[in-house]
A and B are shown apart, each in its own frame.
Chain A
Amino acid sequence: MEKVVAVIMVGGPTKGTRFRPLSFNTPKPLFPLAGQPMIQHPISACKRIPNLAQIFLIGFYEEREFALYVSSISNELKVPVRYLKEDKQHGSAGGLYYFRDMIMEENPSHIILLNCDVCCSFPLPDLLEAHKRYGGMGTMLVIKVSAESAHQFGELIADPNTKELLHYTEKPETFVSDLINCGVYVFTPDIFTAIQGVLTHREDRANIRQVSSFEAFQSATRTLPVDFVRLDQDILSPLAGKKQLYTYETMDFWEQIKTPGMSLKCSSLYLALFKITSPQLLASGNGITSATIAGDVYIHPSAKVHPTAKIGPNVSISANVRVGAGVRLISCIVLDDVEIKENAVVLNSIIGWKSSLGRWARVQGNGDYNAKLGITILGEAVTVEDEVVVINSIVLPNKVLNVSVQEEIIL
């Protein structure tokens, strides 16, 4: 029986300052999107692969930060999920190689590699089927984006018929292609041989002591440690055009979850996906015995929402939240234990754990997910007093706002 193993790269704390202030007490991979931890979306997608044997999470966070989640999701999905902590930076491919013995434990025929901060529909069974048809070492999920935005990603050229990866370049300065790398791959165990090859080559080079002073002067980047292997530059680029790597194009949505603002957008994308794949997860209400629901909304079973409130579209409400009478919530994420008092309004915002919004308080952003202050973010335990307005601002944890603010970062 052919077993499949999945590996999800989750990153680590010191790299993630872009996710502040939400990352102050929760590792980014566990931040909820559409009511489920960010990492649960790719994990659930992995579960759709037949013969999935194990899921590995690889990152730099302390083990204890993932211990609870990993054991509960293993139980829930009935598949072993393990968190592996990297002791130092090995690069996106180096990390995979470092844990190769564990990954190959059950002799899988295929390895799915995912990045936790990718938001997409994860069409993994289709990707795996395509890969088997192509018969190469690896197949990567690709998507067409606008020509202007392509430079932020890995751009690639694929053969229109064979779908082979012909050319790959990471974040190019000039336009190469509007087809980009989604950060979702399937490999055969040959990937480890390929990484091994890079490592050996590096070691050989390091052994050549004669480096001219001009070369030393030229090296703009810090010289990499010998065991640091990047998937894009060290594996994908060199192997392009050698009939080893192939592409599979997705027509669904794709985003990278880098900032809190983007997490709100991705939460909406997943809510829309739930409409199709798991409509039972979404809320419904008649406005009489339960709150009026507009569009896609997730409400945790333990949350209490007053029937006169109107919720949605694109709202996610976490556990133990209390939403008072006459409240209006549009396009927002409301985290655990928040209290929102009567007639308050929230738009394009993220309300942090245990925060409290007073009566007729108004918290809003302009909805520009990419702007620094486009989505209003309230950190943990922020109190917005009655009638106070907070617009396009970021508020750090434990603050009490008793005057209105606009376009501000409040420490």
Chain B
Amino acid sequence: MKALILVGGFGTRLRPLTLSVPKPLVEFANKPMILHQIEALKAVGVTEVVLAINYQPEVMLNFLKEFEAKLGIKIICSQETEPLGTAGPLALARDKLIDDTGEPFFVLNSDVISEYPFAEMIEFHKAHGGEASIMVTKVDEPSKYGVVVTEESTGKVEKFVEKPKLFVGNKINAGIYLLNPAVLDRIELRPTSIEKEVFPKIALEGKLFAMVLPGFWMDIGQPRDYITGLRLYLDSLRKKSSLKLATGANIVGNVLVHESAQIGEGCLIGPDVAVGPGCVVESGVRLSRCTVMRGVRIKKHACISSSIIGWHSTVGQWARVENMTILGEDVHVCDEIYSNGGVVLPHKEIKSSILKPEIVM
């Protein structure tokens, strides 16, 4: 079986992290974002994954080779020369997605994190016998998104309403699709929106069905949602395989600590924290609701919450870092500094406090 992951462009919403690393390779819960999806696809029998990207794949290719070997799955890049929207890339990768088996193929939005219930989705798709299945998820504020209106009992999609002013429903497109090869015949090789042009046509013919996504869902393409997403992910991990989570007197709530990371004495870590490989967390440190990337050193007595600390950065003694502070790669926060929502580009030293949210270039 095959799959296409819409990786897209420059990941500008996840800057400054994406100034150092292409977005699919930015780690989430200590694993590159795209690896979460590729592993889940492999688990349901997908043998080939196409990554639809619209920038140079060179940086990605080395990592992809490594994943290919480790997972035993084929990974190829399909590069757009002009942005093709959310459907155009499927037309571009047509030859790679269709084979003689006539099997349906998955399409995923690369920013989406969830439990990836792909096996259930395959069952759902077979049962309704339609042309396309999409996952929908319930949200509190549907008008921020595109709402999918369905027939309650069958899940047949009636229509899509983009950012509705009045309440029409609370299910939105979760960015996970399972499509029959016939769908490709509806997509031309030009900038096309799958939600605005392709799906409505299939819905009109009564051939599009929506399944409510069980479990959590998050679009982690921007820092605030990345942090919320980690909480949801770790919560789900707790329910499924709590052995992966850290335990101990200095751990509270759901915490992931890589085996090569060191945590000092008298720390309090959690809830909702991920500490990456090679990190050193010195004694007396408080970490909550944050991600600490590979190779970071957090010095004694520091306190970090609701933030992301980029690769190989350091946070000084008694520093306090909070409120959506995002440190890029190789950023060094000096001792005793306070950062309230500082967004710091790579290779910087922070020598004076950031009192209100600010971008440091």
User: Is there an interface contact between B347 and A17, defined as CB atoms closer than 8 Å?
Assistant: yes
Distance in angstroms from B344 CB to nearest chain A CB is 10
Contact in complex: A20, B345 (CB < 8 Å): yes
Q: Is A409 an interface residue (CB 8 A)?
A: yes
Known: A20-B361, A397-B10, A398-B10. A411 touches B343 (CB 8 A): yes
Q: Given A396-B15, A398-B10, A399-B12, A409–B359 Cβ distance below 8 Å? A: yes
Q: Does A21 touch B at the CB level, under 8 Å?
A: yes
Chain A residues with CB below 8 A from B345, complex form: 17, 20
Q: How far is the CB of B63 from chain A (nearest CB, A)?
A: 21
Write the nearest CB–CB distance from A356 to chain B, whole angstroms: 13
* Chain A residues, Cβ within 8 Å of B16: 411
With A14-B347, A411-B343 as known contacts, state yes or no: A21 contacts B361, CB within 8 Å. Answer: yes
Chain B residues closer than 8 Å to A24, beta-carbon distance = 19
B348 touches A (CB below 8 Å): yes
CB pair A394 B347 closer than 8 Å: no
Shortest distance in angstroms between A17's beta carbon and chain B's nearest beta carbon? 6
How far is B15's CA from A14's CA once the two chains are assembled, in angstroms? 19
- Does A411 lie within 8 Å of B347, measured CB to CB? no
Option from B9, B12, B347, B348 in Cβ contact (under 8 Å) with A396: B12
Q: What 0/1 pattern do residues 317 to 353 of B give for CB contact below 8 A with A?
A: 0000000000000000000000000010101100000
A411 to B359, CA, bound (A): 9
The reply to whether B348 and A411 form a contact with Cβ atoms under 8 Å apart is no
In this complex, the member of A17, A394, A397 whose beta carbon has the largest number of chain B beta carbons within 10 angstroms is: A17
**Nearest chain A CB to B205 CB, angstrom units:** 33
Contact with B along A12-56 (1 / 0, CB 8 A): 001001001100100000000000000000000000000000000
Per the bound structure, the CA–CA distance linking A24 and B19 in Å amounts to: 9
Interface positions, chain B 1-29, Cβ under 8 Å from A, are 9-10, 12, 15-16, 19
Across the interface, which residues of A come within 8 angstroms of B12, CB to CB? 396, 398-399, 411
Q: How far is the CA of A77 from the CA of B19 in the complex (A)?
A: 37
**Set of chain B residues within 8 Å of A17, measured between Cβ atoms:** 345, 347-348, 361
Contacts of B15 in A (CB 8 A): 396, 411
In the assembled complex, the Cα of A253 lies from the Cα of B12 at a distance in Å of: 40
Q: Give the distance in Å from the alpha carbon of A397 to the alpha carbon of B10 in the complex.
A: 9
- The closest CB in chain A to the CB of B55 belongs to A398
* Minimum CB–CB distance for A57 against chain B, Å: 23
* Closest B residue, CB atoms, query A16: B347
Task: Tell me the nearest residue of chain B to A14, going by C-beta.
Answer: B347
Chain B residues within 8 Å of A394, by CB: 361
Pull 16 A–B residue pairs with CB atoms less than 8 Å apart, ordered by A: A14-B347, A17-B345, A17-B347, A17-B361, A20-B345, A20-B361, A24-B19, A396-B12, A397-B10, A398-B12, A409-B359, A411-B12, A411-B15, A411-B16, A411-B343, A411-B359
Interface residues of A (CB under 8 A from B): 14, 17, 20-21, 24, 394, 396-399, 409, 411
Those 10 A-B pairs whose CB atoms lie nearest each other, nearest first: A411-B15, A409-B359, A398-B10, A20-B361, A14-B347, A399-B12, A17-B348, A398-B12, A17-B347, A411-B12
